[in-house]
Structure 1
């Protein structure tokens, strides 16, 4: 079946000698993997790989066969052309980190237009923003809504947040209870949208500790979640 599908590239993997497998999150079908045959064989083919950088936003004309795991691409073009995301070392480290997480947590071939538009809009915001050191924190926090474990926003005046249950509480439950600076930052970010993110002031050390807490939250609620290998690069860049 030949159809058009808006897509965000999650990952690419060399397959055999000249082929690529590209994993995308698509507007119409959720996660879809495409096999690009012979794309690494010629200069003309290699020029096409520029489309498949991490988190690129594409319009794909696809040959989709429902009972197959790998599908084909007939035509591809950018639906949005980034101006900074792939050539700014700070932004590219965020892109590498988020693409690894998204590739890990988004597994289902299931349509979710709200999630697709959240991702596309947030990445366009990052592309156009000059102050973005806390972007990945808010992105991950907002992503939890679409993954089914968004922190409850009631009782935010309580003294603890329980990572296991996802609720604010007035008593300490040991290793799952968050307090102190991480709790303050969590409450700030829960009430913040991307366009107001610059008002949240966080030091490098606070950012790193809050991110570690967020990743632990993902681990608790997603059994197959793996801490991204690009985490160290991100921490080094934003320390």
Structure 2
């Protein structure tokens, strides 16, 4: 049955000689996998494989059946072509990390329009921001944790949960203030952090997610993110 939905491309794997299986978080159906034929050829129309690069925002018409794990796409186009996110080194590195985390935490379950709206708004902020995005990944993880059911109400709760699980997190007043700003204020609210503090907070946030989601495991994009943004 043909259905319309918006989607956020997360990843894809090669399938047979010219096709891919794309993993897409959709507004209507949650996380889904789609077979996309003939996109890995020189004759592929308008470089269609670019539509499935991480975090690309999509308008789709899909064949959807509830009893299937793999679906097909009838029509697809981008909602808003990116002008900066794939080309700015800092932004593309953040996008790589965010995509890896989303691939780890989003599950094949019912749709969540509120979560989808948050993700769309966050991606568009990162695409359009010219300043104050260096802490985007930290604020994003904190805010995403509420949609996943384990968001901390304050810096003290965040610190307490880490300590209870034997993670050595000892924030000073500056870090506590930064955490509360990122918890309670919009994305892009300026927060001054040194390179060392930003890295320490990043490690603490990943550890916090690992406490609540067993399947996270190693985050391969972390070393690159630390190097580029620090």
Which TM-score applies when normalising by structure 1?
A: 0.88
Q: Is 2:221 the partner of 1:230?
A: yes
Alignment of 1:141-220 (within 5 A): 141-153=142-154, 161-163=159-161, 175-176=166-167, 178-181=169-172, 182-195=175-188, 197-198=189-190, 200-220=191-211
**How well do the aligned residues superpose, as a CA RMSD in angstroms?**
2.0
Q: Deviations over 1:136-195 (max 9, x none)?
A: 100010000111000024xx6x6982125xxxxxxx758246432444432332232114
- Report if aligned partners of 1:162, 1:176 keep a CA contact under 8 Å in 2: no
How many angstroms apart in 2 are the aligned matches of 1:174 and 1:216?
Answer: 9
Determine if contact 1:33/1:70 at 8 Å carries over to the other structure. yes
The one-character-per-residue Cα deviations of 1:62-100 (angstroms, maximum 9, x if unpaired) are 011221111001111111222211111110011111011
Residue of structure 2 equivalent to 1:114: 114
Give the C-alpha shift of residue 128 in structure 1: 1.0
Structure 2 unaligned runs (5+)?
none
| SS at structure 2 position matched to 1:162 | helix
Count of equivalent residues: 227
Conserved? CA contact 1:85–1:92, under 8 Å? yes
- 1:37-116 matched pairs, under 5 angstroms: 37-45=37-45, 47-116=47-116
Structure 1: 5+ residue runs without aligned partners?
165-171
Give, in angstroms, the shift of residue 227 of structure 1: 3.0
CA offsets per residue over residues 117-152 of structure 1, 9 Å max, x none? Answer: 000001111111112110010001000011100002
User: Is the CA contact (8 Å cut-off) linking 2:62 and 2:74 kept in structure 1?
Assistant: yes
* Mapped contact 2:152–2:158 kept (Cα < 8 A): no
CA distance in 2, matches of 1:32, 1:160: 32
